[in-house]
Structure 1
């Protein structure tokens, strides 16, 4: 009886870990694609963004566009790595989501509402990648044995 309860608990934990990893992967790919789009907008057309005078972190919009484009492309690659439940992808996912938060904070005056949305989006990604313990996610796509 205790073994059956333990097996169910392990199965539930594994399913929870699998769900969070897939959630983070999908969110990171979406955030990456949106970052690429934002980067292209900033590089191609500066009229889309608000111009703020005397901003401490003032940077050329084309420069911000390249930053968002590169971060977005890397986020898409890392997001696809998360579908394979690779440890490197989890670590890189947290790092990229952190950099996306910093980039959106620093470019807040240029596109304020979207920057806040992306900061929240990236916060959820970091949460999903950090809440799963390593022993739960060693291979979240492996099916548990049926002998239970």
Structure 2
């Protein structure tokens, strides 16, 4: 396989990899959120004492956002027409929710935000390259 064949195959695989990353990140979010709906209490120690924090409502929000990211990943996999804007609209709130819940599950939050960010970068690069191919070339004598 020479360089031109490799470079032509790379952009075609970007949406497939992005769909896999989005689906995996959404599943991790949904499964961990489902676990927090059952046992979402954390003990927080401060200088004034120990408090119990219930994250039940945040867990339901997290579950909905994780489900939306899974659906966005499946839409990208199915190469739907508006899959890229849908993915951006679903993943950005997911990143915000993961960062808000960072103190309670830091390792999972870092992994999921990294997966979401990598998927968004792949989708943005692919979307930009396909838009550049669709635009007519300027300066061509015709």
Q: Output the TM-score relative to the length of structure 1.
A: 0.72
Matched, 1:134 2:139: no
Runs of 5+ consecutive residues of structure 1 not aligned to the other structure: 1-7, 139-148
Q: Which has the higher contact order (CA 8 A, sep 6+)?
A: 1
User: How does 1:29-48 map onto structure 2 within 5 Å?
Assistant: 29-46=23-40
Question: For residue 61 of structure 1, what is the aligned residue in structure 2?
Answer: 55
C-alpha distance in 2 between matches for 1:137 and 1:87:
16
Instruction: Kindly provide the CA deviation profile for residues 57-93 of structure 1, in whole angstroms up to 9, marking residues without a partner as x.
Output: xx84111111111011111111111112224111111
Equivalent of residue 115 in structure 2, options 117, 121, 125? 121
Please provide the CA RMSD for this pair.
Answer: 2.6
> Take 1:74 and 1:131, find their aligned partners in 2: how far apart are those partners?
22
Q: Which has the higher strand share?
A: 2
Counterpart position of 2:49 = none
- Pair 1:53–1:95, CA change in 2 (3 A): farther
Count of matched residue pairs? 125
Q: Deviating runs (4+, > 6 A) in structure 1?
A: none
Say if 1:85 and 1:12 are closer, same or farther in 2 by CA, change over 3 A: farther
Query: What's 1:109 paired with?
Result: 103
Deviations 1:5-31 (A, max 9, x none): xxx84x655422221100000111111
Q: Secondary structure at the residue paired with 1:110?
A: coil
Give the 3 Å change call, closer, same or farther, for CA 113–51 of structure 1 in structure 2.
Answer: farther
Normalising by structure 2, we get a TM-score of 0.75
